[in-house]
Amino acid sequence: MGMTMVEKILAAHTGKEKVKPGELINAKLDIVLGNDVTTPVAIHEFDKIGVDGVFDKERVVIVPDHFAPNKDINSAEQCKFIRDFAHEKEVVNYFEIGDMGIEHCLLPEQGLVVPGDVIIGADSHTCTYGALGSFATGVGSTDMAAGMATGEAWFKVPETIKFVYTGELNEWVGGKDLILYTIGDIGVDGALYKAMEFSGEVIEDLSMDHRFTMSNMAIEAGGKCGLIEPDQTTIDYIEDRAQREYTLYESDEDAEYEEVIEYDVSEIEPQVAFPHLPENTKGISEVEDIKIDQAVIGSCTNGRIEDLRLAAKILEGKRKADNVRLIIFPGTQEIYKQAMKEGLIEIFIDAGAAVSTPTCGPCLGGHMGILAKGERAIATTNRNFVGRMGHPESEVYLSNPAVAAASAIKGEIVSPEEVM
Amino acid sequence: MNLNGQAWKYGDDIDTDVIIPARYLNTSDPSELAKHCLEDLDGEFVDKMKKGDVIVAGKNFGCGSSREHAPLAIKAAGVSCVIAESFARIFYRNSINIGLPILESVEAVAAIEEGDQIEIDVNSGKIKNLTKDEVYQAEPFPEFMQEIIESGGLIKYVAKKVNK
Ligand code: SF4
């Protein structure tokens, strides 16, 4: 019996020929990641272990992105605490604002995570790097602490569910719609404890940015990770960035899957997830009369250059509705610069958008665009839980960047077709 | 380890954002976090619950973010155990790692009503409903996780290993 990609990667990091779903293993880690919310807790725990330094100064990555630039005094203290730790332990990959980006846009861009890696991050969307063909999963602060000290973590080898996407994509449909549709189908616990593997001709034709968006939201289906088999697209992306050797793993033909789910994408239109769960999805044609107060384009889900290009395509020469606040936050400084070179930032500002330095900001209701009671936002982010973007009685609708941009122009949730 | 408390019952897919909203994540002080435990789900929870009480919930409890602040807030608020039909995986991991007892039992969740007095033997997974005079059996933990729990959490477990 063959092995899935996840099983192969985990076996290789455990020094075993083979691992099986359900097996508890201790795996070597290639990267241990934390941010300004999770790292302070991890440092307190790390200090209790009684080791002098981190297991590898180059393989611990710390990114203050959630409440950075510091939003208040408490956040400033948290950021200072992790900055001091990074300096004291000589953590090479600490990213200060100005160099920083949203962690899950930043790490692949900087070539810090590569195909074949085992990565833990004290942030649930660490699963994003599965798009490169690596095993990447979100953990808590205590796991991060133990990982920083030992370079290892315990895992239960997950079963894999394979998703096969075939057919032709409709206009304005991309990675975000595919993953929202999938979550709508299987539910927010549809892949609980499982590995998701995205495959099929549609995925083979997807660009890296769209792939990252899909893997990013594996956790919204309860998944442990969301992998895509590395191919030429992956190699083209990683070749000039990779800071380490990488290994390309493929699932065997006779690998055992818990389930194989197939979708014909020609039936999928742009998706909108209604409050308060990502599984409450509807096709855009079924969405009517949802007025919005704010549109947010960015985040680790849709803050990459292709997302911004898509938004600019819709916004060019147009203006947002008067009663809508449009906030755009590029994922990293590199993406910001690229968007400037391409004239996208000018399009955004002319359209009446506030363009922010990279930060998680409004995505988690941190700062830079919090909703008041009763307000509604459309966002390209990944979660629409109660109170996610502000007041517990506010609402978040999730969509792709084209739908969010079109909705900003109309003042209500609409298909991009209505403004083009 | 025997626990005893009153049950507070909630639904499916209780996410970490309602367990501890992001607006309170600019601190990691457990006693601060405890004040806002479940705030956006049940604003009165912290005032009405007593130390030792038990949260009983449906499927996928703790879904969403990896914030360890969620199980920390629950533990610091004085909740002795969470019983759910299932847990989101990061929450599950975090709870074991920080030593917050959690048990999975579809049967117990179906039978327990809010206000029932519950007694739990964490090691065996036995849940006694003193109000209804019933006993339910939860999934016991795999041996490896029991080892972590018995060491007093992951950090003590790792510390033992590295200092050998
Ligand atoms: S952008 Fe949002 S989802 Fe992504 S890491 Fe930041 S807070 Fe989390």
Cβ atoms A200, A229 nearer than 8 A: no
**Selected residue with higher pLDDT from B51 and B152:** B51
Q: What pLDDT, on a 0 to 100 scale, did the predictor assign at position B151?
A: 84
Give CA separation, A108 vs A51, A223, A318, B13, in Å.
Answer: 29, 20, 33, 31
Cis-peptide, bond into residue A392, ω within 30° of zero: no
**Selected residue with higher pLDDT from A221 and B152:** A221
Q: What pLDDT, on a 0 to 100 scale, did the predictor assign at position B104?
A: 95
Bridge-based pairing state of the strands A294-298 and A376-379: parallel
**Selected residue with higher pLDDT from A142 and B146:** A142
pLDDT tens for A331-389 read 999 999 999 999 999 999 999 999 999 999 999 999 999 999 999 999 999 999 999 99
Rounded to two decimals, the ipTM of the complex is 0.91
Is B150's pLDDT higher than 80? no
Q: Is B87 helix (H, G, I), strand (E, B) or coil?
A: strand
pLDDT bracket for residue B144 (50, 70, 90): confident
Residue among A33, A105, A299 whose CB has most ligand 1 atoms within 8 A, to mutate:
A299
Nearest residue by C-alpha to atom 6 in ligand 1: A360
Q: Does B163 touch chain A (CB under 8 A)?
A: yes
Give CA separation, A43 vs A186, A254, A408, in Å.
Answer: 37, 43, 41
Q: Which residue type sits at B74? A: I
Fold agreement (A5-262, A271-418): yes
Whose CA is closest to B20, among A33, A379, A38, A189? A38
pLDDT bracket for residue B145 (50, 70, 90): confident
Alpha-carbon distance A105 to nearest alpha carbon in chain B (angstroms) = 17
pLDDT (average), residues B65-76:
95
Query: For every one of its 420 residues, what pLDDT tens digit does chain A have, with 9 covering 90 and above?
Result: 899 999 999 999 999 999 999 999 999 999 999 999 999 999 999 999 999 999 999 999 999 999 999 999 999 999 999 999 999 999 999 999 999 999 999 999 999 999 999 999 999 999 999 999 999 999 999 999 999 999 999 999 999 999 999 999 999 999 999 999 999 999 999 999 999 999 999 999 999 999 999 999 999 999 999 999 999 999 999 999 999 999 999 999 999 999 999 999 999 999 999 999 999 999 999 999 999 999 999 999 999 999 999 999 999 999 999 999 999 999 999 999 999 999 999 999 999 999 999 999 999 999 999 999 999 999 999 999 999 999 999 999 999 999 999 999 999 999 999 999
Contacts of A122 in chain B (CB under 8 A): 66, 68
Structure tokens at B25: 């994540």
pLDDT tens for B73-87 read 999 999 999 999 999
Within 10 angstroms of residue A178's Cβ, the number of other Cβ atoms is 26
Q: Is A192 helix (H, G, I), strand (E, B) or coil?
A: coil
Q: What pLDDT, on a 0 to 100 scale, did the predictor assign at position A84?
A: 98
Whose CA is closest to B55, among B148, B142, B127? B127
Q: What pLDDT, on a 0 to 100 scale, did the predictor assign at position A324?
A: 98
Distance A8 CA to ligand 1 centre (A): 29
Q: What pLDDT, on a 0 to 100 scale, did the predictor assign at position B24?
A: 94
pTM: 0.96
Q: What pLDDT, on a 0 to 100 scale, did the predictor assign at position B138?
A: 94
- CATH fold of A5-262 reads Aconitase; domain 3 (3.30.499)
Q: What pLDDT, on a 0 to 100 scale, did the predictor assign at position B149?
A: 77
Q: Which helix (H) or strand (E) holds A273?
A: strand A271-273
Distance A189 CA to ligand 1 centre (A): 20
Bridge-based pairing state of the strands B126-129 and B117-121: antiparallel
pLDDT (average), residues B68-75:
96
Q: What pLDDT, on a 0 to 100 scale, did the predictor assign at position B112?
A: 98
Within 10 angstroms of residue A350's Cβ, the number of other Cβ atoms is 13
Domain A271-418 annotated CATH 1.20.58.410 = no
Whose CA is closest to A100, among A60, A71, A63, A58? A63
Residue among A38, A100, A102 whose CB has most ligand 1 atoms within 8 A, to mutate:
A102
- Determine which of B19, B28, B162 to mutate to test the interface with A (most A C-beta atoms within 10 Å): B28
Q: Which helix (H) or strand (E) holds A141?
A: helix A141-150
pLDDT bracket for residue B28 (50, 70, 90): confident
Is there a contact between A142 and B98 if contact means CB atoms under 8 Å apart? Answer: yes
Enter the DSSP assignment of A53. Answer: S
Enter the DSSP assignment of B139. Answer: P
Q: Is A219 in the pocket of ligand 1 (CB under 6 A)?
A: no
Is B1's pLDDT higher than 80? no
- What are the domain boundaries of chain A? 5-262, 271-418
Bridge-based pairing state of the strands A294-298 and A325-329: parallel
